[in-house]
Chains A and B, each alone.
Chain A
C-alpha cells in the first residue's frame, strides 16, 4: 500500500509517467475483470478499461490520499463509466431518477444470482443495463464488486435502507425477467 501511495503522489506532483504505468499495471486485470463481467464483450471491456484508467489519471489531482481507499475510488470511476455507457444507449427506456416513494416495499429476496454461467449473466445485464443510473451503481457495486451495503451507502452518501430497497427492487426486476424468459422458452 505504501508503494501505491508513493506512485499516486508522484503522479499528482510531477505527472510521473512511469509511476502512472505502475499504478495502472497493479489494477489492470482487476478492473478488466470487473468490466468484462458486465459487458461480456472483450473489445468493449478493453475500451471501457482504457477510459476508466484514462479518467483516473485525469482526475487524480482531486483524489485525497487520506479519505477513500484508492481501490474504491477506482471502482467508482469504472462503475460510472459503465453506467454512462449503458445510460447513453438506453436513457429513453428509463428515467434517470427513481422517486424513492414509488419503489415497492422492501422484502428480502431469496432469489440469488451466481455469476458462474455466461447466459445467466447476459440475462441479468439485459435488465440492469436499462435501469436508472443510481440503481445501476448500487447493483453493479454489490453484485460484481462484492461491496457490502454499508460501504455502498457511505460511498454514494445514501441511507442504508435506501440502498437495500433499491438493490432488491432491481433484483426483483431481474427475477421477473428470468421468469418471463422461462415461461416463453420453457426451462
Chain B
C-alpha cells in the first residue's frame, strides 16, 4: 500500500498576497470617519445624557462669558480704544470659554468611581469626552461669532471677517494645543502649566500688542488664516480620534 506522504500544500504567491491583504484590512481597518462615528454616537447617546451635567456647564459658561464680556466692554468704553489692541484682545479671549470648560469638565475623569463601569460600556468615558469636546467646540465658535458681532457694533472700525478669523484661529490653536496635551498627560499639574503658559503668552502679547498686531495679525492674508484654521481643525480632529481609539495603548488603568 502506498502511504501518502505528508506534504504541505503551500498556497500560490498570489493567493498569499490576497490573504495578507485581507488580514491587514480586517485587523487594521480604515476607521469609520470621525464625523460618521461622532454622528452615530450622538444619535445613540443623545444630548441629554451626553451633557448630564448641563446645569453646571451652563452656569460656568455664563459666568465665563459675562466676565469676558465685561473685560471687552471695559476696554471698548475706555478713553482711546485702538482697533489693533482690540484684535489682540479678541485673539487672547477667544479660547477662554473652551479651555475653561475643557479643563473643568472634560479632562481627568479617572478618579471617579463611575469610571470603571462606564469604561466597559459600548461608549466609553474617553469616547464620550471626545464627542463632548467636539460639540462644545462648535458652541465655542458660535459664542465667539456672537461676541464679534457685539464688538463690531460697539467699535465699527473692526472688520467682522478679520475678527472672526482671528478668534477662530486662536481657538483652534490653543484648543488644539490643549487636546494634544491631554493625549499625553492627564495630570492636573500639566493642565495648570498649560493655562499658565497661555496666560504668559497673552501677557506678552499685551505688552507688545502693537508689534504682534502689525507683525502677525494684520499682515496675515485671509488665505493664511484659512490655512491656519484648517490645520488647527485637522489637529484637533486627530487628537479627538486618538481619544476614541485610546484602547490601542496599554489598558485603561
Contacts and interface: CB of A to CB of B under 8 A. Distances in A.
B28 A118 contact: no
A167 interface: no
A61 interface: yes
Contacts of A42: 9, 11
A118 B6 CA distance: 4
A161 B248 CA distance: 38
B33 interface: no
Interface in A1-52: 15, 17, 20-21, 24-25, 28-29, 32-33, 36-37, 40, 42, 46, 49-50
A25 B20 contact: yes
Contacts of A157: none
B196 to A, nearest CB: 31
A32 B3 contact: no
A46 B15 CA distance: 10
A39 to B, nearest CB: 11
Interface size class of A (residues with CB under 8 A): 20 to 34
Nearest to B25: A17
B250 A61 contact: yes
B109 to A, nearest CB: 23
Contacts of B14: none
Contact of A24 (B4, B8, B24): B24
B198 to A, nearest CB: 29
B21 interface: yes
Interface string A94-119: 00000000000000000000011111
A10 to B, nearest CB: 12
A21 B20 contact: yes
B10 A116 contact: no
Contacts of B27: 20, 53-54, 57-58
A54 B21 CA distance: 11
Interface of A: 15, 17, 20-21, 24-25, 28-29, 32-33, 36-37, 40, 42, 46, 49-50, 53-54, 57-58, 61-62, 115-119, 121
Given A21-B21, A28-B16, A62-B250, 9 more contacts: A17-B24, A20-B28, A25-B20, A36-B8, A53-B23, A54-B23, A57-B27, A58-B27, A115-B6
- Top 10 closest pairs, chain A to chain B, by CB: A57-B27, A118-B4, A54-B27, A118-B6, A33-B8, A117-B3, A53-B23, A36-B8, A24-B20, A20-B24
